[in-house]
Each structure stands twice: as structure tokens, then as C-alpha cells.
Structure 1
Amino acid sequence: MIVNPRSTVLEPATQAFLAKTAALPQLDSVEPAVGRRIVDGWQHQPAVVSDVWFTVASAAGRVPLRIVLPPNLGGRLPVLIYVHGGGWVFGGARSHDRLVGELAAHTGAAVVFPEYALAPEARYPVALNQICAVARWVFAQGARHGLDTTRVAVGGDGVGATMAIALTLNCLRHRDMTVRQFIGFCPITDASCDTESHRTFSRGYHLHSTTMRWCWDQYAPDGVNRSHPAVSPLHTSMDELARFPASLIVTAEADVVRDEGEAFAAKLFAAGAPTTAVRYGSVIHGFVVLDALCRSSPARAAMAQATSALTTAFGS
């Protein structure tokens, strides 16, 4: 069989996942509390990890903070501040338990996981301010808790990657908050939702274009300047991007936000920032996060690539 190179051919696990979930409602059609229970089921495989919890004070309220520890502790641990996705409305420790456990185990790092306040109850800039407060706590207090604050990376998936980019930019403005590596899985970088991938994959590929627009409305409603770089990182100036740390940008072929993620990577390249950008074919948004897809070849490869980037950054 000859396959049209312009067509989208999904790998088997993705096909099975989409078939199984085709009749389920999109998250924008249910109450947030219901959607949160659905998203908490994204990861149900047990993560054999140890963790500790803290509460960090911020001007935007107190922030629960989970630190997931690697199995083999020895000396001060490098740090990955990981910001979860879920459209700003959904997600948390349960929805990302397996993923952060794997990142800790594979990299030997302590994964710092902020349980930021969710929209629509908390809108921009509450969550971002809370995440920045957590980062300040890491750099100021982390050494007291066995963390090596000279070896810090930042990462996230989906809207978590959006805020992780904004966090990294914030760290660049502070000489005592050095970030060695950025990791972005399927990053969302532009509120306009006006790209070819939004049109090509608008329905039927897990994350619908209408759902993404709804998520933006929950987080940054009318009155918020959505073109501000802290909201839409694609609008970040080239001068700031030139100072961005080494970055790995992972996108998925059949994803409405693919093009904006790749456009952000292109700006990093143009600014001269050390960047690796990879589009994984045959998969959908969240392919690294979803348990149903985490053992697929693309997900395993993306995790291996992220692990390699992080261990290189921590070891240098």
C-alpha cells in the first residue's frame, strides 16, 4: 500500500485510544468538577516513588508543593520544576503521577510539582504567580531540603509548558535563578488558535480546537491582554529568547497546537538559543502524559529524549 505523505496515519495505540474515547464528551461540555475527575484518570498506573509535601506562601495564595524523589538518593539532588497541563482547568498530582515518577527515576532529579490554583476559580495571573513563587522557594530554600539549586531545569506539558516558558523567562530576570534546561511537551504558545494545525485537526484527535478556545476563555477571559508574552509566549521578544536556556520542544503531528509549538521553537532557533525541536509523527496531544499511549514507541522515544537532555544538563 502506498500512503499519501500528506495524510495523517496514526500509530496503533493512538487509533485504539481515539476509538475508545470517541463517544465521550469533550471537557468543555461538562462541569469542571466532572472534568477534573476524568483528567485525574489520565494516569492510573502506580508510580513507585517517595515524595514530600510542602506549602509555599505567595501573594496569590498558599501553594501545595509536591517533591517527587528518585529511588537512589545520594548527595544534593538536581531539580526539575515541572508544571502540569490540563487546560488550566484540570490536572494535578494524580493526573501526572506516573509521568513525574518516571522523570524522577530516569534522571535522578527531584521533581518539584506545584499544585497551582485552577481556572475558572483562579484566572490569570494567579497560577503563574504561584508557580513563580514556588521557583523562588526552590532557589532560596531548596538547599535546606537536599536540593542542588545550581542544577535546575524547568518543564511542562500543554498549558503547563506555556507557564513553564513564562517561568523560565521570569528566572532569566534574576541572576540567582539560573535554569539549565527547558523541556516542553506539546507546548501551547499563542492564544489566537489561528493556525493550519488548528484547522486540520480541529475535531477527532483528542483535543478539539473548540475545547482549546474554551480553555483560554477560562484562564484569560475578556480584559486580559492575550498577546502579552506571559500569556502567549510566542510573542516574547527576540532579545529575551536569545538568553533562553538549552531547550527541547516536543510536538505531536495530529495536534491542534502543533504549529504554535513549532513556531516558538523556530523563534528560539532564530534568536540563537540552543534548541532541539522534534515533531513525533502518528500521535496526538498529550501522548507522553496519557497512560493509554505512554508505552507507544513515540512516547517512549520522547521520554528518552527528555531524559537525555535533562541528565546532560544536570551533569554539565
Structure 2
Amino acid sequence: MTLPEPTPSDLIPSERMQWLLEKLAMEDAGLGDPTQLSPVEGRALAEQTNQRWNTDLPEMTSTDFAVPASEGHTIECRLLSPSNANGLIMFIHGGGWALCSRDTHERAARLLGLESGAHVLTFDYRLAPEAPYPDGLKDCLTVWEAILGGHDKLRDCGRPSAVAGDSAGANLALSLLLSLQTDGKTLPDAALLFYGVYDANFQTVSYCDQRDGPGLTREKMKRYWDWYVAKTDLRSTPLVSPMQASDAQLLALPPLFLNAAAIDPLRSDTENLVRRLRSLGRTDPYILYPGVVHGFMQMSLELPEARLAATEAGRAFRELTGN
């Protein structure tokens, strides 16, 4: 189905985005590329550079607890609860399946809670390459089962519920829905998917026109994919690349909200998924944000588009779930 392509002006950083890119370039000069470091070093760098986005946190109750996993480890969780919150959003952080944590995405998760009026549950799933596919997805399933099972820290959150994620977190969120669907288990009422990874096709329009960034690049994404799913034959399976799901699987999904950044190698992943959904007669809302780069929702302290995206995601949660 036809979807309007970004205009040339959409692919030019907004004035504020350009200012911020220049500021980040100065702040990060000499720090290196986390995808070219060891995973441990890369994670440390991601934690360090994301600290700047996680100050001046919106006030709300924060409760840390652990969920045991069948593999013998525990999954560290954090429940963020605005005043008078109702409903629960399970938020899966991005970072190429290999970097970042509930701490790096704290402010973004809190903003989503404020704008949605819901509790937001974040957690630290196992990361690649030490824990490649399907380990991170299994942890997401374990946390979802804890929600359904009425974990004592979650039983007062109420319904409706949604799953959300950014970038690789959006991939895991959509893969979670497909896995639950296949197993005949209870699905969330909706999903909020922010500039996600939905396929392993590095020749899309945006992988070509935005291959060198700014920010995320095609080579960085290839590195993330190599860490997460080294066996390339697995990349064509729906739980790894949700674009490979059948029409029937996509039709059976709960309502989705999708957004994308115009200046992003992953833009076409969302555009192609939206085209597919609309060709099936679905009307899931989709927003393209012009003039911003991948990961822009992390930048709410400095970027108006990030605050707007949180507001529109919160509105989508309420509209899709009737909350």
C-alpha cells in the first residue's frame, strides 16, 4: 500500500536537532563507538553517555524488585507509578539487544507513564552477544508471565495493559506478541512501538540514504545483528524479524501504535511494516517525526520532538486501550 515518502526537508535535522548533534559531537569526542568495543566496554560507555538524558526525572513512585527466571537467573525490574496511575505498560528498552538498561531509559519511561496515566514496568533482560537470541526474548516472556500471574508488586496496577519498546526493544515487544499468539497465551491490549527493528534487510531505502547516520549507522546495525543472531538463517524467522510473520499472524495482533524518525537507517523498517498492516486492512496509527535521528525519544531534556512523541504515545495508549 502507498505510504507517503519523507520529503527532502524531512531528512534535514531540525534547528534544535542540529544544535544537539553538534553538542553531542563535542561531548563525546574521543569516546569511541560502543559497537567497536568489547560488549562490556560498550555497555559501560552506553551507561555513561546516557546519564545526560536521565536527570531532572519526573517525580513518581519507583519500586525495584526481581522476578525469578526458569533458567536460574533473576530479572531486575523497576515499577514507575505516577500519582493516580491506572493500567500497566511493560517497557522494553532498546540498545541493539546488547547495550543499555532500565537506568539508561529511566526518563523516557517516566515520561511515558506521565503522559499515559499508567504504571510503567522496566527491566534488565539478558544482553547479546553473551546471551543471544532467544535469551532476551525469553526474559521478556518471563516478565509478561509475572504480570499475568499477579506478582505481588504488580497486582494493584490494574488493566488495561500494553507492551512498549524502542528500537531493539520494539523488536522484542513485537516478537513477544507473536510468541504469545503462537502459544495461545494472553496478549496485551495494545503495543506502542518506537522506531523499531523489524527486519534484517540492509538494502532498504533508509538503510541506503541514512547508512552513515548521523547517530545510528548501517554498520552499527550489522554489528548489533551479528551479536544478537549470528546464524543468518534464523534472521528470516518471525520471532527475530517480525516482518516475516504471516498475514494471519499480523491480523491477529492487538492494536499497535508505531512511530519512526525520518533521519534513521531503521525508518524503512517501520514504513514497510505499516504498509503491510494497511494492505491487510488494519488502521494502526503511525507518526513520522521529521528532522530527528534514531533514539530521539531519549532526548526529552533538550528536544521538543521527544516530548511531543511521549505525549502522542501516551494519548495512543489511552485511545487504543480505552484507559
TM-score by length of 2: 0.88
- Shift in CA distance, 197/223, structure 1 to aligned 2, threshold 3 Å: closer
State whether structure 2 residue 59 is matched by structure 1 residue 56.
no
Query: How does 1:190-201 map onto structure 2 within 5 Å?
Result: 190-201=199-210
User: Is the deviation greater in 270-279 or in 117-126?
Assistant: 270-279
The C-alpha deviation readout for 1:35-90, integer Å capped at 9, x for no partner, is 223322322323223222222222343211211111335xxx30101100011111
Distance 1:199 1:244 in 2: 30
Question: Which runs of at least 4 in structure 1 moved beyond 6 Å after TM superposition?
Answer: none
Indicate the structure with greater helix content: 2
Distance 2:191 2:157 in 1: 17
Question: Which blocks of at least 5 consecutive residues in structure 2 are unaligned?
Answer: 1-6
Conserved in 1, the CA contact under 8 Å of 2:115 and 2:315? Answer: no
- Shift in CA distance, 256/144, structure 1 to aligned 2, threshold 3 Å: closer
User: Is the deviation greater in 181-190 or in 170-179?
Assistant: 170-179
Conserved in 2, the CA contact under 8 Å of 1:56 and 1:65? Answer: yes
Distance 1:30 1:309 in 2: 38
Aligned partner (choices 17, 20, 43) of residue 17 of structure 1 = 20
Aligned partner (choices 68, 72, 85) of residue 80 of structure 2 = 68
Amino acid paired to 1:14: M
Query: How does 1:233-272 map onto structure 2 within 5 Å?
Result: 233-272=242-281
State whether structure 2 residue 312 is matched by structure 1 residue 302.
no
Distance 2:24 2:307 in 1: 22
Distance 1:79 1:177 in 2: 15
User: Is the deviation greater in 82-91 or in 148-157?
Assistant: 148-157
The higher relative CO (CA closer than 8 Å, separation ≥ 6) is in 2
Distance 1:32 1:46 in 2: 29
Distance 2:131 2:113 in 1: 29
Matching residue of 1:89: 98
- Displacement of 1:143: 7.1
Amino acid paired to 2:78: R
- Displacement of 1:101: 1.1
- Shift in CA distance, 20/30, structure 1 to aligned 2, threshold 3 Å: farther
Distance 2:163 2:154 in 1: 18
Conserved in 2, the CA contact under 8 Å of 1:89 and 1:215? Answer: yes
Query: How does 1:1-316 map onto structure 2 within 5 Å?
Result: 5-6=7-8, 8-22=11-25, 23=29, 24-40=31-47, 41-42=49-50, 43-47=53-57, 48-60=59-71, 61-72=73-84, 77-142=86-151, 145-148=154-157, 150-173=159-182, 177-222=186-231, 225-291=234-300, 294-315=301-322
Conserved in 2, the CA contact under 8 Å of 1:143 and 1:149? Answer: no
Report sequence identity in percent.
27
Conserved in 1, the CA contact under 8 Å of 2:195 and 2:267? Answer: yes
Distance 1:310 1:89 in 2: 27
The C-alpha deviation readout for 1:95-133, integer Å capped at 9, x for no partner, is 001011111222221111121011111111000001011
Aligned residues: 308
Distance 2:223 2:185 in 1: 37
Secondary structure of 1:282's counterpart equals: strand
- Displacement of 1:174: 5.8
Amino acid paired to 1:110: H
For the aligned residue pairs, the C-alpha RMSD in angstroms reads 2.2
- Displacement of 1:176: 5.6
Matching residue of 2:4: none
The C-alpha deviation readout for 1:181-224, integer Å capped at 9, x for no partner, is 11111111111222121111111410011001000101111265
- Shift in CA distance, 236/45, structure 1 to aligned 2, threshold 3 Å: same
User: Is the deviation greater in 281-290 or in 48-57?
Assistant: 48-57
